[in-house]
Amino acid sequence: MELAIPVEQWSGAVGTVTLGATAEQGGTRRRTLTLGGESTLPFLRLEGAIPNPPALAMEVLDASPEKWPEPLRAPFGNVLDDPAAWAVKCVEEFGADAIVLRLVSADPQGQDASPEQCAETVRRVLQAVSVPLIIWGCGDNDKDNLVMPACSQAAAGERCLLGTAVQENYKTITACALADGHLVISEAPLDISIQKQVNILLTEQGLPLDRIVMYQVTGALGYGVEYAYSILERTRLAALTGDKMLSMPMLSVVGSEAWKAKESWLDEPKWGALERRGILWEAATAALFLHAGSHLLVMWHPEALRLVRAMLTALQPA
Amino acid sequence: MSRVRVRFEPEGETTEGEAGALLLDLAAKAGLPVRSDCGGRGICRSCHVEVRSGRIRRLDQDGAEETVAAACEVLACQTAALTDLVVYVPPEVRLCPTGEEVAGYLGPGAAALLRPPARGFPLGQRLALRLPPPSFDDPTPDWERLARALREYLGEDRPLVCDLGLLRRLPDGLRVHDFALSATVVDEGDRHRVIDVGRVGGRAALGLAVDIGTTTVRVELVNLGTGQVLGGAAEFNAQTRYGEDVISRIIWSQEHAGGAEDLRRAVVGTINNLVERLLRQAEARRQQVVAVSVAGNATMICLLLRLPADTIRRAPHVPPVGQPPYLSAASLGLLAHPEAAVFCLPAINGYVGGDITGGILASDLAQRDELSLFIDVGTNGEVVLGNREWMICCSCSAGPAFEGMGIEAGLPARPGAIESLVYDRSSDTVQVRTVAGEPPVGLCGNGLVTALASLLEAQVIDRVGQLMSDYPSPRMRQVEGEWQFVLLWAEETGLGRDLVLRQSEIDNLIRAKAAVYAAVSTLLEVLGLTGEQIERLYLAGAFGSHLDVAAAMKIGLLPDLRPERVTVAGNTALMGAYLALLSSTARRQLREIAQATTYLDLSSVPRFMEEFVAALMLPHTELERFPSVVARGSSGVVS
């Protein structure tokens, strides 16, 4: 007797978003990156098409990460105090699909770098690499509202992804994206309703659905990640059942979350070799978010990225 | 301790007290009670008054003493009078009568309960009797003689009782009137009690229908013979000074020595003030009031009866009593005939009280086939869903925002309160309508709802209620780090200062509306029903009776229903109390309703929190639940 495998027919699909613009499109990228577009659950090709595989971005900080543990610093050699060189290494040596430039230097509690200084870093990184760029503010709303317009202008036409828009602060970044042809990260505090609310606010500002990437602030493995999983999964299911306002591709921050976990850096021999622990923590967290439906991961350690890439290849149909 | 005299302006009401007494207490004593949203803790600043002369002590400034030279603004709860004072009480600070009561809705089934024979017995009645005088052939004693005649008259055989005082008065009473007399009888459920005898044709027997709201108390004076309402009056519940919601009052009653007695005295004082006023207007006497029916949530009933209310606050939230036995007015300290019967409408549980049972009865929800939704928006929002087959209810804490508390520009619906506000973006002007057409001094619940709807439509606020800081009008401004929008400029008000809505106050309103809507949507969700299946919506509460239904749907306070399905039912708690006063059938049905209604504890439903967050948008995160609002195009939604 033949076994009929039940196949779910979804009424909706995840929307597509393309990062980066080539010369013909008004930018200078040699590669663009398209996310989303699938009409099925992650890796479940049986029920629908998955036109674009998940992508792996690497994060570059514009201020040298003094507190990084040695196993995390080691692979980068001497580029950690040069964002452009760091970005080049990520792309050429480690195979990152995109670069996240995190403007930590702008933090008023820290270096308090000026908008002009940040914009200059953006220009340098754009010149150094040819993959799409994700420009991420320092997290201080008032400062980001000064920094983001300068950076957005410096990258005008490049179709960068700007981050992040939150419910309390979304207007400036949206206006930048609209003025300079960029995309926006819509951030929510691990809440599906608030995610949708931010998306609605962005679209009501005039930003089209195909210029929004969703981001739920999660923890890493061991830190309530089960709940994060279910939120991402439910968001994906909402898209597949036709909820346009939750149909955008999703981004997950893996590196900084995984390395925040003490399991990644605490010198505790009983927990296993310190050189591998953080890498595995990051890779496991990444694998989990991919299975939950995330489209774009922000990674830190090149070895973790390599492990995840291997997993994606293994799950790719022959 | 020396005495001080304090004169309150502009009325010039003067009161005396001991030196060191708080202005808050002195104002209440002078008959000019002021707001105290935080219960006298010096937090909310709602009791700010102006001292114009005299010497005061500032408790909020380490007890500093000062002699007032120029007018000085202080908090009434934090300022003690040391010498004679002159104090100005601004209009927005006053707790004062909220004006004439609006009649509530009565469904046809409920109205039928007012006609004999369906109605049975009123809670109290005066019966004219002619007894055969005693003789050697009929030597029945006086009491048994009266009882026999009454039983015959009433046509039933429940026991009749009376107290010693009546027995003592009875022999003379019968003989003075030649055995033709009127007897006042109250219905105590399983028995009747004779509380008075007098001449035939005396003054009518009267009853009180009382609705004890957490924020507002309303009383109607009713002729028990005719059912005619002789007058209605309302006033802020004086318990408000001990905390604005039920939980903070329960805490006060537990944590302060004599706290339960403070709360009891406060609400009894409020009721008695209203009764006194109504009796004066009707030229009636206290002795005529022989029956009292009281609707209120379980906490209000507990505090009236001075029962320990702590168990309501703690899981599993069991009240000390669902329905108290029939009590006497004297035992509660109510201004009425000492033996007047007091009936409390039965509660469904600790959070859904007799006010809601009364509303279910008055609206006929329990008698109809169609699926109905009953919403009472007060400090707590209660929601009942059901029909004649089944009823399920829940309660949510909406907070007192819609009753005008916790919002500086908020007011109850009294003269000068804005009941409708429309802002026009193109001309940057505001149109208001106020209660009694008086100069605007604040916004009542509906004023706030219409303001919110109008600001959303004009895109002064975004869909999550954030003020658009770049909005091109001088009305948008930042004060002490918080954005606010000027609704009316000082010269347009009766206040002499700008009337504003702050960001935090808008957030409060949105949380309140989200709590109410989420209670509705969670009930529907739990039962697997959708909003379209609701065939009738009864909107209860004094707030409900003034509500602009379209604006309420625009902000997502109410589900999006066709207007013809909405019945603005007004104060159904008071209507329930009125029915209970006049009909023993109603009293029985109230008990049946209380027993038949299932309670859903929203805190035990994980879904509620999600529904709440989703409802924090205007009108809602799921815009498709509000098709008519979206279709009206209140703003350009991309979908």
Own/partner long-range contacts of B631-636 (Cβ < 8 Å, ≥24 apart)? B632/B554, B634/B456, B634/B457, B634/B554, B635/A204, B635/B456, B635/B457, B635/B459, B635/B463, B636/A204
Q: How far apart (Å, rounded) are the C-alpha atoms in residues A246 and A124?
A: 34
Q: Is B470 an 8 Å CB contact of chain A?
A: yes
The answer to whether position B99 is within a domain reads no
Q: How far is B618 from chain A (nearest CA, A)?
A: 10
> Residues of B with CB below 8 A from A165's CB?
none
Residue B208 pairs in a beta bridge with: B221, B292
Q: Which of the residues A197, A198, A205, A216 would you substitute to probe the B interface, choosing the one with the greatest number of B C-beta atoms within 10 Å? A: A197
Q: Is the pLDDT of residue B635 over 60?
A: no
Please check whether residues B32 and B139 belong to one and the same domain.
Answer: no
8 Å CB contact of A196 and B623: no
Residue A43: partners with Cβ closer than 8 Å, 6 or more residues away: A50, A291, A315
Q: Which range has the top average pLDDT, B2-6, B63-67, B450-454?
A: B450-454
Q: How far apart (Å, rounded) are the C-alpha atoms in residues A78 and A85?
A: 9
Please check whether residues B327 and B283 belong to one and the same domain.
Answer: yes
The answer to whether position A2 is within a domain reads no
Q: How far apart (Å, rounded) are the C-alpha atoms in residues B125 and B115?
A: 15
Cis peptide bond prior to A269, omega within 30° of 0: no
Q: Which domain holds residue A302?
A: 16-315
The answer to whether position A69 is within a domain reads yes
Q: Is B614 an 8 Å CB contact of chain A?
A: yes
Domain end residue (candidates: B153, B170, B198): B198
Q: Is A141 an 8 Å CB contact of chain B?
A: no
Pairing mode, if any, of strands B160-161 and B180-187? unpaired
Please check whether residues B496 and B477 belong to one and the same domain.
Answer: yes
Residue spans of beta strands (DSSP E) within A92-205: 98-102, 133-136, 161-165, 183-188
Q: Give the DSSP letter string of B481-526.
A: TEEEEEEE-GGGSSSSS-EEEEHHHHHHHHHHHHHHHHHHHHHHHH
Report the number of distinct structural domains present in chain A: 1
Q: Which domain holds residue B124?
A: 109-198
Half-sphere exposure of B128 toward its Cβ, with a 13 Å CA cutoff? 7
Kindly compute the dihedral angle of the four CA atoms of residues B33, B37, B39, B42, in this order, to the nearest 10 degrees.
Answer: -100
Tell me, what's the ipTM? 0.82
Q: Quote the DSSP letter at residue A94.
A: T
> Residues of B with CB below 8 A from A192's CB?
610
Domain CATH code at residue B518: 3.30.420
The answer to whether position A3 is within a domain reads no
Q: How far apart (Å, rounded) are the C-alpha atoms in residues B638 and A41?
A: 26
Please check whether residues B385 and B523 belong to one and the same domain.
Answer: yes
Please check whether residues B322 and B460 belong to one and the same domain.
Answer: no
Contact A235, A293 (CB under 8 A): yes
- Count of A–B CB contacts within 8 Å? 43
* Dihedral over Cα of B295, B299, B303, B307: its sign: positive
Q: Specify the length of chain B in residues.
A: 639
Report the number of distinct structural domains present in chain B: 5
The answer to whether position B494 is within a domain reads yes
The answer to whether position B541 is within a domain reads yes
Residue B479: partners with Cβ closer than 8 Å, 6 or more residues away: none
Domain end residue (candidates: B481, B500, B519): B500
Comparison of pLDDT for B2 and B219, the residue scoring more: B219
Q: Give the DSSP letter string of A56-90.
A: EEEEEESS--TT--HHHHGGGTT-TT-HHHHHHII
Please check whether residues B562 and B601 belong to one and the same domain.
Answer: yes
The answer to whether position B542 is within a domain reads yes
Q: Is the pLDDT of residue B639 over 60?
A: no
The answer to whether position A6 is within a domain reads no
Contact A203, A178 (CB under 8 A): no
The answer to whether position A220 is within a domain reads yes
The whole model's pTM is what?
Answer: 0.80
- Tens digits of per-residue pLDDT, B441-494? 999 888 999 999 999 999 999 999 999 999 999 999 999 999 999 999 999 999
Q: How far is A294 from chain B (nearest CA, A)?
A: 22
Please check whether residues B89 and B174 belong to one and the same domain.
Answer: no
Domain end residue (candidates: B93, B120, B140): B93
> Phi and psi of B560, rounded to 5°?
-75, 100
- Tens digits of per-residue pLDDT, B305-361? 999 999 998 888 899 999 999 999 999 999 999 999 999 999 999 989 999 999 999
Please check whether residues B536 and B602 belong to one and the same domain.
Answer: yes
The answer to whether position B639 is within a domain reads no
The answer to whether position B100 is within a domain reads no
* Candidate from B470, B610, B635 with C-beta closest to A204: B635
Please check whether residues B155 and B219 belong to one and the same domain.
Answer: no
Domain CATH code at residue B184: 3.10.20.880
Residue B621: partners with Cβ closer than 8 Å, 6 or more residues away: A193, A196, A197, A200, B613, B614, B615
Residue A169: partners with Cβ closer than 8 Å, 6 or more residues away: A141, A144, A145
Q: Is the pLDDT of residue B374 over 80?
A: yes
Please check whether residues B151 and B176 belong to one and the same domain.
Answer: yes
First and final C-alpha spacing in chain B: 72
The answer to whether position B527 is within a domain reads yes
* Candidate from A171, A197, A209 with C-beta closest to B621: A197
Domain CATH code at residue B250: 3.30.420.480
> Residues of A with CB below 8 A from B616's CB?
193, 197
At B296, the amino acid letter reads G
Q: Which helix (H) or strand (E) holds B68?
A: strand B64-68
pLDDT band for B112, please (50, 70, 90 cuts).
confident
The answer to whether position A131 is within a domain reads yes
Per-residue pLDDT of chain A (318 residues), as tens digits, is 789 888 999 999 999 999 999 999 999 999 999 999 999 999 999 999 999 999 999 999 999 999 999 999 999 999 999 999 999 999 999 999 999 999 999 999 999 999 999 999 999 999 999 999 999 999 999 999 999 999 999 999 999 999 899 999 999 999 999 999 999 999 999 999 999 999 999 999 999 999 999 999 999 999 999 999 999 999 999 999 999 999 999 999 999 999 999 999 999 999 999 999 999 999 999 999 999 999 999 999 999 999 999 999 999 876
* Candidate from B463, B613, B637 with C-beta closest to A194: B613
The answer to whether position A10 is within a domain reads no
Q: How far is A193 from chain B (nearest CA, A)?
A: 5
Which residue's structure tokens are 């004062």?
B96
Please check whether residues B495 and B549 belong to one and the same domain.
Answer: no
**Phi-psi group of B521: left, alpha or beta (phi > 0 → left; psi -120 to 50 → alpha; rest → beta):** alpha
Rg of chain A on CA atoms, in Å: 19
Residue A275: partners with Cβ closer than 8 Å, 6 or more residues away: A71
How many CB atoms are closer than 10 A to CB A51?
A: 13
The answer to whether position A143 is within a domain reads yes
Contact B242, B262 (CB under 8 A): yes
Domain CATH code at residue B22: 3.10.20.30
The answer to whether position B620 is within a domain reads yes
8 Å CB contact of A203 and B638: yes
Interaxial angle between packed helices B572-582 and B584-596, expressed in degrees from 0 to 180 and rounded to the nearest 10: 130
Q: Is A175 an 8 Å CB contact of chain B?
A: no
Q: Is B630 an 8 Å CB contact of chain A?
A: no
